[in-house]
């Protein structure tokens, strides 16, 4: 595959854009041509956020078209369902199962789905689901959920997971060196959660 297409979605404040930036930095470090674009709806107030990332030998447009995403990294379950039609056949959803109800639900514009993962699977997509917030809280800081999600993605990229981890470490080493070890642990927790979800699916 010449170009890798990753769609990152979630709610404002979860670190969707930061995660995309780190992914872009990892791809750039390996010499890929990288394009990305973001759409944020009142992100600071918990609105929905989506970020498109494309990388490969040569990328002309940052926009991922419906039906062409290789990976959907969803920080929130209902957003995973709302965006899953962007996946190509056989595409993979990596989904935080923690329920974070967006404002569009609270004001009555959208009904929160009863079982987003089941609905996505019913459409023919593979889903690896895990509670990233719970894993982050176990490490002492809910903000580590961002790195947990990136860890889950680590083994599904066209380059080693360690390259992505190095991009995370580089970001924190310069500004908050004390967080480096915590982020290493969060990354490892995300990788383990993804492996467990894949194992559960295989055994189903």
Which residue in 104, 4, 98 sits closest to 49, CA to CA? 104
Largest CA distance in the chain: 46
Mean pLDDT of 39-50: 64
List the domains of the chain with CATH numbers. Answer: 4-203 (3.40.920.10)
Please calculate the CA angle 168-173-178 and round it to the nearest 5 degrees.
105
pLDDT bracket for residue 101 (50, 70, 90): low
The pLDDT of residue 43: 43
pTM comes to: 0.91
Residue 183 to residues 88, 102, 113, 130, Cα–Cα distance (Å): 31, 26, 31, 18
Mean pLDDT of 76-88: 94
How many of the other CB atoms lie within 10 Å of CB of 88?
17
Percent of the chain exceeding pLDDT 90 equals 72
Q: What is the 3-state secondary structure (H, E, C) of the chain?
A: CCCEEEEEEEECCCCHHHHHHHHHHHHHHCCCEEEEEEEECCHHHCCEEEEEEEEECCCCCCCCCCCCEEEEEECCHHHHHHHHHHEEEEEEEEEECCCCCCHHHHCCCCCCCCCHHHHHHHCCCEEEEECHHHHHHHCCCHHHHHHHHHHHHHHHCCCCHHHHHHHHHHHHHHHCHHHHHHHHHHHHHHHHHHHHHHHHHHHC
* 70: pLDDT strictly greater than 90: yes
The pLDDT of residue 133: 95
The pLDDT of residue 40: 60
The pLDDT of residue 107: 65
Q: Which two tokens stand for residue 154?
A: 């680590």
């Amino acid at each position: 595959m010449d170009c890798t297409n990753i769609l990152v979605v979630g709610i404002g404040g979860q670190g969707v854009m930061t995660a995309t930036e780190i992914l872009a930095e990892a791809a750039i470090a390996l010499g890929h041509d990288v394009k990305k674009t973001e759409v944020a709806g009142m992100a600071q107030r918990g609105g929905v956020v989506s970020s498109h990332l494309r990388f490969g030998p040569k990328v002309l447009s940052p926009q991922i078209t419906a039906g062409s995403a290789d990976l959907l990294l969803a920080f929130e379950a209902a957003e995973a369902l709302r965006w899953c039609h962007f996946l190509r056949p056989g595409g993979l959803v990596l989904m935080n199962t923690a329920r974070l109800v967006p404002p569009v639900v609270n004001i009555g514009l959208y009904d929160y789905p009863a079982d987003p993962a089941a609905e996505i699977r019913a459409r023919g997509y593979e889903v690896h689901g895990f509670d990233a917030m719970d894993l982050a809280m176990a490490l002492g800081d809910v903000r580590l959920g961002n790195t947990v999600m990136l860890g889950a993605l680590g083994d599904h990229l066209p380059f080693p997971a360690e390259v992505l981890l190095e991009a995370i470490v580089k970001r924190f080493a310069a500004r908050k060196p004390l967080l480096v070890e915590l982020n290493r642990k969060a990354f490892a927790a995300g990788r383990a959660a993804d492996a467990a979800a894949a194992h559960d699916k295989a055994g189903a």
